[in-house]
Amino acid sequence: MATFRKRGPYQWQAQVRKKGQPLQTKTFETRALAAQWAHTIEVEMDKGMFVSRAEAESTTLKELLERYLVEVTPLKKGAEPETNRLRAFMRHPLARRFVAGIRGIDMARFRDERLQKVSPSTVKRDLVLLGHVFEVARKEWGIHFHNPVRDIKLPADGRPRNRRLQDGEETRLLAACREARNHHLLPIVQLALETAMRQGELIRLRWEHIDLNRRTAHLPDTKNGEARTVPLSTIGIRVLRALHRSLHGQAFPGVTTEAIKRAYIRAVRRAGIEDLRFHNLRHEATTRLFEKGLNIMEVASITGHKDLRMLRRYTHLKAEDLAKKLG
């Protein structure tokens, strides 16, 4: 049964009582809105479909993000970059809203706003992460509300980047890395070009997994969840031999993804190189493996690609080089 009480000039409080159900109370500006809400609650209770929205109506998006950051993010391989992304979300005005009131149109505005600043693939990752925050809150934390990310169209993935190092760029890049305050940057960049390892894999390298005599580096924890052993080139061996061995067992002790990211961006800027991201070094290294004559299965065993179709874009060799082979 619903009751209504006027609490001020523009406040009407509705209460719904039903045996076996928790008391539901909410305040509206008009009696008509209060009656509409009460009727909806009573119908849901009669049909056995009612779930309390009280927690969703008193929990902000920022509070969800903070809980997700503590309980979910630390369990992921990419915890550090995800932490930075979540903290950026917390500073957005949308984070101050109660989650029960966030609609698809709000997420669409967030999407369009982000598309003015970053690439579609970055925006897609943002929305996928927010969508997962909402889903965890709904399914595992018992906060009942609709996931607004489901109501919008995600940006399409951009075309794969095939950026390769041009003449002179590698020399300039390595010279800039030598000048970096972060002394780990140069060997990490050199190993990226020699091994095709991902940035996170390089940062997590440990000496107990490196065998300089057998010329291998074992990666027990990779992006796709499968361990692999990477062969080391002569240059790769030389780079590793020059590193100082820490007592903690890490090849690059104390290094974080964010620190290398920032140091790399500054080095690229000093080198006068445009549009060269760290991940492009993996593309360059993978393409060089094909240029050395390795077949697709051999390359996949080194790079860790599970889907061989993903390697097709790495085989875009320079047309002028192919012309020389044709004679």
Helix H or strand E segment including 178: helix 169-178
172 is catalytic: no
DSSP readout, 30-58?
SHHHHHHHHHHHHHHHHTT-----HHHHH
5 is catalytic: no
Find the catalytic residue in 103, 144, 215, 305: 305
279 is catalytic: yes
Find the catalytic residue in 7, 279, 312, 316: 279
Q: State the DSSP code for 13.
A: E
Find the catalytic residue in 53, 62, 184, 282: 282
Find the catalytic residue in 7, 87, 223, 238: 223
Helix H or strand E segment including 67: helix 61-71
Task: Using DSSP, state whether 3 is helix, strand or coil.
Answer: strand
305 is catalytic: yes
277 is catalytic: no
In whole angstroms, what is the distance from residue 108 CA to residue 131 CA?
13
CB half-sphere exposure, 60, CA atoms < 13 A: 12
Q: Contact at 8 Å (CB) between 252 and 188?
A: yes
In whole angstroms, what is the distance from residue 285 CA to residue 280 CA?
9
Sign of CA dihedral 308, 310, 311, 316: positive
- Residue 38, classified by CB atoms within 10 Å of its CB into exposed (0-12), middle (13-18) or buried (19+), is buried
Find the catalytic residue in 198, 209, 283, 288: 198
218 is catalytic: no
- Residue 157, classified by CB atoms within 10 Å of its CB into exposed (0-12), middle (13-18) or buried (19+), is exposed
Find the catalytic residue in 53, 68, 85, 314: 314
Active-site residue set: 198, 223, 279, 282, 305, 314
